[in-house]
Amino acid sequence: MAIVCKSQAEIEKMRRSGHIVRQILDELRRLVAPGVTTMDLEKAAAAKIKELGAKPAFKGYYGYPCVLCTSVNEEIVHGIPSPKRVLKAGDIVSIDCGVVLDGYYGDAAITVAVGDSVSPERQKLMEVTEQSLYKAIEQVKLGNTISDIGGAVQEFVEANGFSVVREFVGHGIGTKLHEEPQVPNFRSRGAETRLREGMVLAIEPMVNTGGPEARVLEDKWTAITADGGSSAHFEHCVAVTRNGPLILTQ
């Protein structure tokens, strides 16, 4: 599939969908607390998406059942919200949300501490993962490559003693949730595509405290760390412009 570069008008539409995603994530961040279930977050997100006039991007996508992905502790991505999954003090929960508005997608993720007793290791994991996202965004400029983006994530994460997941990567985004190119969070010889004006990328570091290996549970969606270590996930949609990176989910 070819990479689709967007016009300024299309990027503005994506900024509007991205703004809705950010409003939802900001609301969910405030709701995260001990005793809250991941289904409570799901219901709040579904109501907010409807209120803001958008449609969920994830629900029904290849059969996925919910509007959010909620991944707790050792879960990396694609955790399915459940009324049985009760958040406890000391947990961390990654919340991934996507919407479509006027035919254009927005997609972003945050990882949130539950309560005030998160371990120093998990706290550092969240900070490093979020910082690695902004290190990657700094590389979104004309003439750089997709590999430069991934290399910035990998270098920063590994310098801080953590590892980058290989099995799941970022992606192009626009009138489809997943477009070309793939955006690995590590330096890759197969990712030498040059950045061009109008490209829009969903950049999403997924970082583990232990090794980078992952496995998928029997639900065929939830990916967890192979060694049981904790994982964090942050994501922004970013447009390539002649003036540098433009974060659409800010």
165-209: per-residue pLDDT in tens? 999 999 999 999 999 999 999 998 777 899 999 999 999 999 999
CB atoms under 10 Å from CB of 177, counted, come to 18
Q: For residue 206, give the H/E element and its range.
A: strand 206-208
Q: What pLDDT, on the 0 to 100 scale, is given for residue 192?
A: 85
Q: What pLDDT, on the 0 to 100 scale, is given for residue 223?
A: 98
Q: What pLDDT, on the 0 to 100 scale, is given for residue 235?
A: 98
Nearest to residue 174, comparing CAs of 106, 236, 240?
106
Q: What pLDDT, on the 0 to 100 scale, is given for residue 190?
A: 72
Q: What pLDDT, on the 0 to 100 scale, is given for residue 28?
A: 98
In sequence order, the β-bridge partners of residue 231 are 208
All residue ranges of the chain with pLDDT < 50 are none
Q: What pLDDT, on the 0 to 100 scale, is given for residue 188?
A: 86
Work out the angle between the directed axes of helices 146-159 and 120-137 (0-180°, nearest 10): 150
Token pair for 190: 């197969």
List the domains of the chain with CATH numbers.
8-247 (3.90.230.10)
Q: What does the pLDDT look like over 169-179, one tens digit per residue? A: 999 999 999 99
Three-state secondary-structure class, residue 239: strand
Q: What pLDDT, on the 0 to 100 scale, is given for residue 196?
A: 97
Contacts of 113 (CB under 8 A, 6+ apart): 32, 91, 92, 122, 123, 126
Q: What pLDDT, on the 0 to 100 scale, is given for residue 191?
A: 72
Across 225-243, b (16+ Cβ under 10 Å) vs e yields bbeebbbbbbbbbbbbbee
Spatial contact of 81 and 39, defined as CB atoms under 8 Å apart? yes
Q: What pLDDT, on the 0 to 100 scale, is given for residue 189?
A: 78
Question: Strands 68-72 and 104-113: what pairing?
Answer: unpaired
Three-state secondary-structure class, residue 56: strand
Token pair for 55: 């449609």
User: Phi/psi zone of residue 12: left (φ > 0), alpha (ψ -120 to 50 degrees), beta?
Assistant: alpha
